[in-house]
Amino acid sequence: MSAKPLILVSNDDGITAKGIRTLVEVMSEIGEVLVVAPNSPQSGMGHAITIHSPLKLYESNVFSDLPNVQAFECSGTPADCIKLAKYHVLQVDKNRVPDLVVSGVNHGSNTSISILYSGTMSAAIEAAIEGFAAIGFSLCDYGKEADFEHIKEHIKAVALQVLKTGLPKGTALNVNFPKKSETPIKGMRICRQARARWQEIFDERTDPHGRKYLWLTGSFVNEDLGHDTDEWAISQNYISVVPCIFDLTAHHAIATLNEEWEILRA
């Protein structure tokens, strides 16, 4: 690592969101910062990438008040931003690789099953697959007036720890912070992803032309009572840290299918 680490920053709420500004402010104290972030909100985009239309990329002055920051905004998704940074911006301009990739701070929780739909975490996972140490940060507060100040010291501590000790190969961290309350944050827990799901309700309405349309709404159902989960940690006012790796294989099911399936012996 050179004197100043190179830190790539992205998010899914868009380059003008309060959460990414918080993250860039903290990172600019630690290293040289490259921002490649979507030019519009991408929440709920999961791991979408843009393959049927071209991408646009412009240098941005959103962070011109901060030292050590170069920023680009992109017409694509969070996963696109990471690919663009690695295979385009950093190749063309610097021929460098980032020492750390951080995404967020997401406006709202990305605990448990929410990681599946999360653009914030898709950027972090994309970066981990590319071989970089990567962290997605989320604040469990959906409010417009959400306070990000109280988490700055913790973001810095986690980033410095990862810069120091690295992460196991292919692993990204999913870090969630409790919403600000009168109770101070109790500490930090390394957790597993809770098994939970969304119970959906479609709100059916009729447009002025008599056509029906539906809004997706839902509530979160946690069916996992484990005290080693991210949901439990957040509920107890701890910061949750889940190490994530992109392997969906249900390894335990391989032997079951090999034993049960007659068609394998047909």
Residues 165-224 that bind a copy of itself (CB under 8 A): 165, 167-168, 170-171, 174, 187-188, 190-193, 195, 197, 200-202, 204-205, 211-216
Classify residue 259 by burial, with Cβ atoms within 10 Å: 0-12, 13-18, 19+. exposed
| Least Cβ distance, residue 239 to a copy of itself (angstroms) | 10
Positions in 123-152 near a copy of itself (CB under 8 A):
125, 129-130
Stretch that binds a copy of itself, among 1-9, 24-32, 98-106, 251-259 (CB under 8 A): 251-259
Site size for a copy of itself, by CB under 8 A? 81
Strands 100-107 and 171-177: unpaired
Is the CA virtual torsion 178, 68, 14, 194 positive or negative? negative
Position 100, amino acid: L
Interaction of residue 15 with a copy of itself, rule CB under 8 A: no
Q: How far is residue 173's CA from residue 185's CA, in Å, rounded to a whole number?
A: 19
Name which of 2 and 249 has its Cβ closer to a copy of itself: 249
Distances (CA, A) of 181 to 17, 151, 213: 22, 12, 38
Interaction of residue 263 with a copy of itself, rule CB under 8 A: yes
Name which of 4 and 142 has its Cβ closer to a copy of itself: 142
Classify residue 214 by burial, with Cβ atoms within 10 Å: 0-12, 13-18, 19+. exposed
Return the residue of 2, 3, 54, 209 that touches a copy of itself, per CB under 8 A: 54
